[in-house]
Amino acid sequence: MDFALSPADIATLWLTLKLATTVTLILLLIGTPLAWWLARTTCIFRSAVSALVALPIVLPPTVIGFYLLLAMGPQGWLGQAMQALHLDLLPFTFAGLVVASVIYSLPFVVQPLHNVFAAIPESFLETAASLRASAGDTFFSVVLPLAKPGVMTAAVLGFAHTVGEFGVVLMIGGNIPNQTRVVAVQIYDHVEAMEYASAHGLSLLMLVFAFVALLLLYHFNSTGRRK
């Protein structure tokens, strides 16, 4: 079989990489304060927010995709808001994919961050405060360095999960070359067209990528702990 990648395959790979990188960065920016809040707050809405964040883990991706499509569409609340601001509608655009992927991969970033934040003893924060560090200063000088393994895990899981998504992409983004056609969709297309060799090439690449990503993650975390 010929595993060689076509230019179209390469384009989907680049698009996937661009999507996953953008989503991971956004998720780290949103997920970090959210996870920190979840780990420390005593607010009564804590459980509700936790459950909401975790929804994508248990829901079929098509369900999330369906509701996002409704919300982003011309009749949806998000769509209406976008139109009111004279912005383009999100469905079937790269931006739409980013928004959907952020929601879909959110729990995979928030949960490892939450775990590592919750494990940091309150006494470290109090000690930092007694040494004149404000809450923000403490977060950057004590919390984040101690949470490094969790941040790594969150980034790798968020990235890998975005690379691997399929259902949400299909619902929101469709299958537009260079805009929304990611690797998972391209593989599906190859299989539909009975192009098994091309499907193999991409699938094998994905398999190796996922394995290497997880291998690096476990390796990093176990050496981090030993130290």
Partner 1 sequence: MIQARLQFSRGDFSLAFDECLPERGVTAIFGASASGKTTLLRCIAGLEHAVGSLQVNGEVWQDATHFVPTHQRRLGYVSQQANLFPHLSVRKNLEYGWHRTPLHERKVSLAQAVAWLGLEKIIDRDEVEKLSGGERQRVAIARALLASPRILLMDEPLAALDYASRQEILPYLATLHNQLMIPVLYVSHSLDEVARFADHMVLLEDGHVLASGPMHETLSRLDLPTARLEDAGVVIDAKLVAHDEKYHLSLLDFAGGHFWVGEIANSLESHVRVRILARDVSVTTELPVTSSINNVLSARIIEVAEFGRGKVMLRMTLSESQILLSYITTRSLDRLGLFVGMDVYAQFKSAALIV
Instruction: Kindly list the residues in this chain that would bind partner 1 in the complex (CB under 8 A).
Output: 121, 123-124, 126-135, 137, 141-142, 145-146
Among residues 102 and 147, whose Cβ is nearest to partner 1?
147
Query: Measuring CA to CA, which residue among 21, 24, 48 is closest to residue 37?
Result: 48
Helix (H) and strand (E) counts in the chain: 12, 0
**Closest approach of Cβ 216 to partner 1, in Å?**
21
Q: Which backbone phi and psi does 85 adopt, to 5 degrees?
A: -90, 10
Among residues 21 and 41, whose Cβ is nearest to partner 1?
41
Among residues 178 and 223, whose Cβ is nearest to partner 1?
223
**Closest approach of Cβ 138 to partner 1, in Å?**
8
Query: Measuring CA to CA, which residue among 138, 117, 137, 148 is closest to residue 221?
Result: 148
- DSSP symbol at 5: P
**Closest approach of Cβ 143 to partner 1, in Å?**
10
Residue 44: CB atoms within 10 A of its CB come to 7
Q: What angle do CA 207, 213, 214 make, to 5 degrees?
A: 95
Among residues 88 and 126, whose Cβ is nearest to partner 1?
126
Among residues 24 and 153, whose Cβ is nearest to partner 1?
153
Cα–Cα distance measured from residue 18 to residue 153, given in angstroms and rounded to the nearest whole number: 20
**Closest approach of Cβ 128 to partner 1, in Å?**
7
**Closest approach of Cβ 213 to partner 1, in Å?**
25
**Closest approach of Cβ 119 to partner 1, in Å?**
12
Whether residue 188 contacts residue 202, with contact meaning beta carbons closer than 8 Å, is answered with no
Cα–Cα distance measured from residue 27 to residue 157, given in angstroms and rounded to the nearest whole number: 11
Length of the chain: 227
Among residues 42 and 130, whose Cβ is nearest to partner 1?
130
Q: Can you tell me which residue has the tokens 């990503």?
A: 213
Q: What is the DSSP string of 118-165?
A: HTS-HHHHHHHHHTT--HHHHIIIIIHHHTHHHHHHHHHHHHHHHHT-
Among residues 70 and 125, whose Cβ is nearest to partner 1?
125
**Closest approach of Cβ 130 to partner 1, in Å?**
4
